Amino acid sequence: MSKAFFDAFFAPVNRGEQSLAERVAELTRDDLREMTNRMIDAMLALIADCTDADVVFVPHDPNAYDPFAPEEEQTAAWTLGHVIVHTTASAEEAAFIAAELARGVPYHGRSRYEVPWQTMRTIAQCRHRLEESRRMRLATLDVWPDEPHLDNTYVPFDMAGELNAVGAFVVGLWHDSDHLGQIEEIVRQARAAREG
C-alpha cells in the first residue's frame, strides 16, 4: 500500500507536470513525519521475509550504472544491503539539510555519511539501519523552530526546482521512492535463487 502511495504522490513530478516544490507546497511537519514512517514501514515490509543470504545476494541488473562509484564498480549490481545504506544515507542527508534551512542557515554543501555497504551482511543489520534512519530523520524535524524559515531556499538540481526546508526533506523520500522497485526486484530474485 505504501509503495502505491509514493508512486502516486511523486507521479506528477516524475512526469514533469509539477516541480517538486509545487508538489510539496502544502505539506506540514506532521505530513513529513507520516511520510517518513510510511516509507520506512514500506521498506521493512519489502524485506520482511528476507534472510541473511538475501542481503549479500548479487542480483542481475543490466541497467546498473553508478557514475559516482570507483570505475571498477560503476556497472556492478547493488546488493540489498547496498541499496539500504544508500537510501538511508540520502534521506538522512536531505533531512539534515532541511533542518538547517528551517533554522535559517543558508545551504552550504552536502551533509552526507553512508555506512560502507560491504559491512551490511545480515538482515538484522538492514532492519536496524532502517529503524536508526527513521529515528534520525524524525529527530531532525524536532529541531525546526516553531516558525521555520520557509523563505530560505536552494536548488539541489533542476528537476526539483527551488526548495525550502519542506522540499529539501522530501528530496530524501523521493529518492527512497525511486529505489522501492529496486528493493522489490532484488528481494524477488534473491528469493527465487534461494528457493531454486
The predicted-structure confidence for 62-74, as pLDDT tens digits, reads as follows 999 989 888 998 9
pLDDT in tens, 21-45: 999 999 999 999 999 999 999 999 9
pLDDT in tens, 139-152: 999 999 999 999 99
Domains identified in the chain, total number: 1
DSSP collapsed to 3 states, 142-189: HCCCCCCCCCCCECCCHHHCCECHHHHHHHHHHHHHHHHHHHHHHHHH
What is the C-alpha separation between 149 and 168, in angstroms, rounded?
A: 13
Q: Which residues make beta-bridge pairs with 163?
A: 154
pLDDT at 110 over 70: yes
What is the structure's pLDDT at 92? 99
pLDDT at 114 over 70: yes
CATH code for the domain of 175: 1.20.120
Predicted confidence band of residue 75 (pLDDT cuts 50, 70, 90): very high
Q: Which residues make beta-bridge pairs with 154?
A: 163
Domain of residue 95, residue span: 2-195
Q: Are 89 and 172 in contact (CB under 8 A)?
A: no
Nearest to 97 by CA among 116, 113, 112: 112
Q: Are 32 and 43 in contact (CB under 8 A)?
A: no
What is the structure's pLDDT at 107? 94
Model pTM? 0.95
Predicted confidence band of residue 2 (pLDDT cuts 50, 70, 90): confident
